[in-house]
Amino acid sequence: MTLLVTPHLVTLTFEAALKSFWRKEPLRKFLRNCRISESHLSSWASDESKRDFLDRTFTSLQRSDKGKAVIGEMAFALAEQTTFPDLRTWEDSEIKIAAAKLAVAELKALIKQQDEKVRNEREIEAAKEKARVERAAVQRERLDLGKLQQRVAELHPQMGTAPGGYAFQDWFYDFLDFAEMDNRRPYVVAGRQIDGSVTLDGTTYLVELKFTTSQAGAPDIDVFRSKVESKADNTMGLFVSMAGYSSVAVEGASGKRTTMLLLDASHIYMVLTGSMNFADVVRRVRRHASQTGESHLPVAAFGG
């Protein structure tokens, strides 16, 4: 900690030095240890009192930043005192020691006050910096979400076309990367095209993407279920149909031991508008499926 050398600090340091040392030699030794120059110490005349010499010394030190730093060192050194050897052998040693302790206590209190002020200022600055970083992160996130939202909007004219489907596939995995979710892009296994996978909370979800103008129907659900159920027990399916699902498809996907979750455009836009992150959307639908056996939970029912 660097002390702020105020007039009050100078006064208290002066008093603590004056009252902590009664003989000239112990005071001279203390000043030497605090980097007072030998040339200045040698100017102390035999008939010059301690008070006058200290007054001259402190006046000289206050003329430069280097000198003020020395006063700060003296203040710290004096505030550390718990005993006063130079005051012990006098007839009125108890009075002298009591006066020295009071002077040191006042100096120590001022140093503590400065320390707390500096600490509070640092905490305030740290809080401001944290808030600034968080605001910047939110702004970056909004910007990235805005770009993702713009990209998917630009894809809408291609809904229902093969190029549009592949473009949406690329967009979706960029969306997962933004959501910082562990994922694997589309791959082929045993001659079957898998639209990719995503892992969340220890469960791997095979992904099926449908970027068409018509709703996903029961045949789409049946084909995807066969892909999911041919994998390990801990595997589930995550079906994303931007046009939604027929009631028959939802009924076919649901059941006592459903292996898939159904998301639609409203779930995706819930993330793009910043209302909820994608991982929590999946968790919310998964919890609903676990509790009810229903694979699809409309966004409008999230609060229930």
Q: What is the DSSP string of 136-175?
A: HHHHHHHHHHHHHHHHHHHHGGGTTSHHHHHHHHHHHHHH
- What's the rounded Cα separation, in Å, for the pair 181 and 184? 10
Specify the pTM: 0.55
What values do phi and psi take at 2, rounded to 5?
A: -105, 125
Phi, psi of 294 (to 5 degrees): -90, 125
The answer to whether 53 and 14 are in contact (CB under 8 A) is no
CATH 3.40.1350.10 fits 159-301, yes or no: yes
196: left (phi over 0), alpha (psi -120 to 50) or beta: left
Say how many CA atoms lie within 13 Å of 163 toward its Cβ. 5
For the chain, what are the domain ranges?
7-119, 159-301
| Residue bearing tokens 């919310």 | 284
- 62: which 2 tokens? 């206050």
Q: Which residues contact 268 (CB under 8 A, 6 or more apart)?
A: 152, 175, 240, 242
State residue 136's pLDDT score: 59
Element containing residue 199 per DSSP (H, E) = strand 197-200
What is the four-CA torsion angle of 275, 164, 253, 200, rounded to 10 degrees?
Answer: -50
Rounded distance between C-alpha atoms, residue 231 and residue 246, angstroms: 26
Tens digit of each residue's pLDDT, the chain (304 residues): 678 899 999 999 999 999 999 999 999 999 999 999 999 999 999 999 999 999 999 999 999 999 999 999 999 999 999 999 999 989 999 999 999 999 999 999 999 999 888 888 888 888 877 877 766 565 556 558 888 888 899 999 999 999 999 999 999 998 998 888 999 988 777 777 778 999 999 999 999 999 999 999 999 999 999 989 888 778 899 999 999 999 999 999 999 888 999 999 999 999 998 889 999 999 999 999 999 999 999 999 998 5
